[in-house]
Amino acid sequence: MDEDVAGAEAPKAARPRKPRVDVASRDAKLKESRTAEGMAKRQRDISVSEFFAKNRHLLGFDNPAKALLTTVKELVDNALDACDEARIPADIEIRIDALSEERFRVSCRDNGPGIVPRNVPSVFGKLLYGSKFHRLKMSRGQQGIGVSAAGMYGLLTTGKPVQVISRTSSKKLAYRCDIAIDTQRNEPAVKLEKEIEWEHPQGTQVEIELEAQYRKGQHSVDNYVLQISLANPHAQLRYLPPWREQPDEAVVYARVTEQMPPETAEIKPHPYGVELGVLMQMLRESKARSVASLLCEEFSRISPRVADEITAKAGFASTLKPTKVSEAQVIALHAAIAATKIMAPSTDCIAPIGEELLLRALAAVHPSPFPTTVTRKPSVYRGNPFLIEVGLAYGGDLPAEESATMYRYANRVPLQYQQGACAVTRAITATEWKSYGLSQPRGAMPIGPLVILVHIASVWVPFTSESKEAIAHYPEIIKEIKLGLQDCGRRLGAHMRRRRREADEEKKRGYIQKYIPHLASALQEILGLSDPDREHTVETLTTLLERSRKL
Ligand SMILES: Nc1ncnc2c1ncn2[C@@H]1O[C@H](COP(=O)(O)OP(=O)(O)O)[C@@H](O)[C@H]1O
Ligand SMILES: [Mg+2]
C-alpha cells in the first residue's frame, strides 16, 4: 500500500552516502527552535481554505464515495435554496459523467435567479463567503463553505477549476467563468471569463471534476436524489447517473404540487439563546444610545418595558451606554435575561413541508397501504424556533424482516451519514414501537416493512459538525421528535390492530366455509332432505357468512 516503504528497499549499492552532520550546530538550532522566539518564527495565520484542505473530513470529503455525494449535495442544496428564495418552482438537472472508475464530472443546473458576475468568483472560490450566515432564516446552507469546499476538493484531486455558467435574465448573455481557489490566501483565482450564448433563459450551472467513487445503497447519490424528492414536493428533478446506456437517460422525479413552500421571514435572535461572550461583544461594539435600545433592536421579543425589567434585575439603569457596561454588569445582564419571562420567538420563520404534501410525496416514492404524516407545532431550543415533521409508510413491497428504513432531514436536506450520532436516531430507538404492534430489539430500530421519515426545520439547525450530518442531542428537540413519532405510531397501532382483527376473522370464516358442506350433508341425513334442499341449505349458510362480513 505504502509506496515509499517499497521504494526504501532499493539495492544498497545505489544508496547515496549520507553527508556528515555538524552535531554542534544542529543541536544549537534545535535548542533555539524550542524557545519562545523560535516558536514565534513558526506562528502565523492559517487560512480557512488551508485548514479545510487538510481537514477535509470535517466537510464530508473523507472518502471518494462520500466526496461524490457531498459534491452533488452542495450543488443541489444551493440550487434549491436559490430557487426557493427567488420564488421560482425549481427545475433541477443533476448529471454525473464517469471519466474513469475513479474520476467523475458532476454538473448541476437550475432555473433559479442566477448569480451576478461580480460575485461568481467569491461564491465558488472563497470559503466562508455566502448570503446565509449573517441572518436567521430557514435555508439549506448556512455557513458559506459548501460549494467552494466542493470546488476546492475537485481542484485538489484533479487540478481542474470549477466551471460556472450563470444567467440572470433572458435579456442578457450568460456569463461563463472558470474558478480555482488559492488555498493559501483563501481567494478565488479566475482562469477564464467570458460572455456566452446559452440555451437556457435563466439560472446557474456548476460543473466540478473530482476524484470519487460511485456506489449504490444507503449512502448513494441515487438514494440522495430520491430522498430530496420526498422533502421537496414542489421541485422537479432530472437525474442522469453515470454509465448510462443513452446519453439522455434520466431518472425523473416529477413535482407533486405546483404550490411553493410558504415564504419564511428572517428573524432576529431570541435573547434566551445568546451566549455571554457574544453579549459582551455586542455591547462593546454597539453604537446604540442605551442598553435598552440595544436590547430592543438586536433581539426579538424585547419591548422597552421588558428591557427595563431586565436591566433593573441586573442592577443598573437601562439608559446606560452599552460601551460603558462593566464586565460584572454584563454577567448580571446575561443572568437577568435568563431570569426574565420573555415571549417565545415568532414562528412564521419556519415553513413545514406540510402533512398533505408529505403524504403525497411519500405515496409517490413508497406506495403503501398505510401512510401517515404529522406536522407538529413549532417549539424552541436555546431561543431558536424549530418544528418537527414525521411520516410513516407501512406495508406494500417494503422488506418485512429488516430494520425500518429511516429518512432524516434538516431543512429539507437528507442526512445520510452519522446515523448513530443523530438526535433523530436517539428519538426513534427510544420510542416503544412494541406498543404499536411492531417488534423492536432493545434500544434498536423497529423491525418491519416500515419507512420512518423525520424532518427538523429551523432557522438554525444544531448540527454536530461542519459537515452537517447529524443533529445535536438537545432534549427539547428529542422530545418533539418523540411526540411526532408517537402521534404517527398510535395511528399505525390502530391500523395494525384492525389488520390483525380482520386477519383473525378471515381465518375463522375460512374454517366455517370449509364445514358448511359437511354440515349440510349431516342435516340431509338427520332430516331426510332432498338433494336440492341440501344445496339450498349450503347456499343460505354461505350467504349468511358473506353478510356477516359486511356487518
Ligand atoms: N445555484 C445558485 N444560484 C444562486 N446563488 C447561489 C447558487 N449557488 C450558490 N449561490 C450563492 O453562493 C453563496 C455561497 O454558497 P455556499 O458556499 O454553498 O454557502 P451557503 O450555501 O452555506 O451560503 C450562497 O449563499 C448563495 O448566495
Ligand atoms: Mg450551500
CA of 154 to the centre of ligand 1 (A): 17
CA 15 to centroid of chain Cα atoms: 55
Predicted TM-score (pTM) above 0.85: no
Scan for cell 417494503, then name that residue. Answer: 398
- Which ligand does the CA of 80 lie closest to? 1
Contact 459, 410 (CB under 8 A): no
Cα 147 to averaged position of ligand 1 atoms, centre (Å): 7
Strands of 103-110's sheet, edge to edge? Answer: 187-196, 174-182, 162-167, 203-211, 103-110, 91-100, 236-240, 251-253
Q: Report d(CA 182, CA 15) in Å as an integer.
A: 38
- Give me the pLDDT at residue 1, please: 37
Q: Residues near ligand 1 with C-beta < 6 Å?
A: 74, 78-79, 82, 110, 112-113, 115, 123, 130-132, 141-148, 204
Give the residues across from 375 on adjacent strands.
389
Enter the C-alpha cell of residue 40: 514565534
CB 229 within 8 A of CB 235: yes
Query: What pLDDT does residue 162 have?
Result: 97
Selection from 354, 416, 55, 413 nearest residue 215 by Cα:
416
pLDDT at position 9, please? 43
For residue 216, count other CB atoms closer than 10 A to its CB.
10
**CA–CA separation, 225 and 237 (whole Å):** 8
Indicate the top mutation candidate among 123, 136, 204 to test ligand 1's pocket, ranked by most ligand atoms within 8 A of CB.
Answer: 123
**Which segments within 425-499 are labelled E, that is strand?**
450-458
> Three cell numbers at 551?
356487518
pLDDT in the model for residue 11: 46
- Sign of the C-alpha dihedral computed for residues 100, 104, 105 and 106 taken in this order: positive
Provide the residue-wise pLDDT of the chain in tens; the chain has 551 residues. Answer: 333 434 344 445 556 666 677 888 889 888 988 898 888 888 877 777 777 777 788 778 889 999 999 999 999 999 999 999 999 999 999 999 999 999 999 999 999 999 999 999 999 988 777 777 777 788 887 776 789 889 999 999 999 999 999 999 999 999 999 999 888 888 899 999 999 999 999 999 999 999 999 999 989 999 999 999 999 999 999 999 999 999 899 999 999 999 999 888 888 889 988 889 989 999 999 999 999 999 999 999 999 999 999 999 999 999 999 999 999 999 999 999 999 999 988 888 898 999 999 999 999 999 999 999 999 998 888 888 899 999 999 998 888 899 999 999 999 999 999 999 999 999 999 999 999 999 999 999 999 999 999 999 998 899 998 778 999 999 999 999 999 999 999 999 999 999 899 999 889 989 998 999 999 999 999 999 999 999 999 999 999 888 887 66
* Residue given cell 442592577 in the structure block: 315
Q: Helix (H, G, I), strand (E, B), or coil: what is residue 83? A: helix
List 100's β-bridge partners, or say none. Answer: 103
Angstrom distance (rounded) from CA 59 to CA 367: 35
pLDDT at 345: 84
Q: Residue 145 Cα, ligand 2 centroid: separation in angstroms?
A: 7
176 grid coordinates = 461563463
What is the sign, positive or negative, of the torsion defined by CA atoms of 499, 504, 509, 514? positive
CA 246 to chain centre: 31
CA-based nearest residue to 147, from 222, 51, 79? 79
Give the single-character DSSP code of 434: G
Supply the residue whose CA is at minimum distance from atom 7 of ligand 1: 78
**Closest among 323, 271, 318, 258 to 298, alpha carbons compared:** 271
Quote the CA–CA distance of 482 and 404 in Å, as a whole number: 16
Q: Which atom of ligand 1 is nearest to the CA of 127?
A: 17
What distance in angstroms lies between residue 131's CA and the mean position of ligand 1's atoms? 7
CA-to-CA separations, 449 to 237, 357, 401, 440, 509, in angstroms, rounded: 27, 22, 7, 13, 27
Query: Could you tell me which of 256, 255, 218, 240 has the C-alpha nearest to residue 72?
Result: 240
Distance of CA 419 to the CA centre of its chain: 12
**DSSP calls for 150-218:** HHHHHHHHH-PPEEEEEES-TTS-EEEEEEEEETTTTEEEEEEEEEE--SSSSEEEEEEEEE-----ST
How far, in Å, CA of 265 to CA of 351, rounded? 9
Cβ(220)–Cβ(192) below 8 Å? no
What are the helix (H) ranges across 19-104?
Answer: 23-33, 36-42, 48-54, 64-85
* DSSP calls for 313-359: HHTS-TTS-GGG--HHHHHHHHHHHHHS--PPPP-TT-----HHHHH
Task: Choose one of 74, 122, 147 to mutate for the ligand 1 pocket test, by most ligand atoms within 8 angstroms of C-beta.
Answer: 147
Enter the DSSP assignment of 259.
P
Measured by CA distance, the residue closest to atom 10 of ligand 1 is: 78
Residue whose CA is at the smallest distance from ligand 1 atom 19: 144
Which amino acid, one-letter code, is at 536? H
- How many whole angstroms from 421 Cα to the centroid of ligand 1? 27
Helix (H), strand (E), coil (C) string for 476-499: HHHHHHHHHHHHHHHHHHHHHHHH
Which ligand is closest in space to the CA of residue 110?
1
Q: Which ligand is nearest to the CA of 79?
A: 1
CA-angle at 167, arms to 165 and 170, nearest 5°: 140
Q: Check residue 10 and give its pLDDT.
A: 42
DSSP state of 439: B
- Residue 160 contacts residue 214 (beta carbons within 8 Å): no
Those residues whose C-beta lies under 8 Å from the C-beta of residue 414, and which sit 6 or more positions away, are: 224, 227, 228, 231, 407, 408
One-letter amino acid for residue 46 of the chain: I
d(CA 127, CA 137): 20
| pLDDT at residue number 44 | 78
140 C-alpha to center of ligand 2: Å? 7
What is the whole-number distance in angstroms between the Cα of residue 537 and the centre of ligand 1?
Answer: 77
For ligand 1, atom 9, the nearest C-alpha belongs to 78
Compute the distance between CA of residue 64 and CA of residue 465 in angstroms, rounded to an integer. Answer: 20
Q: Among residues 255, 272, 485, which one has the least CA distance to residue 388? A: 485
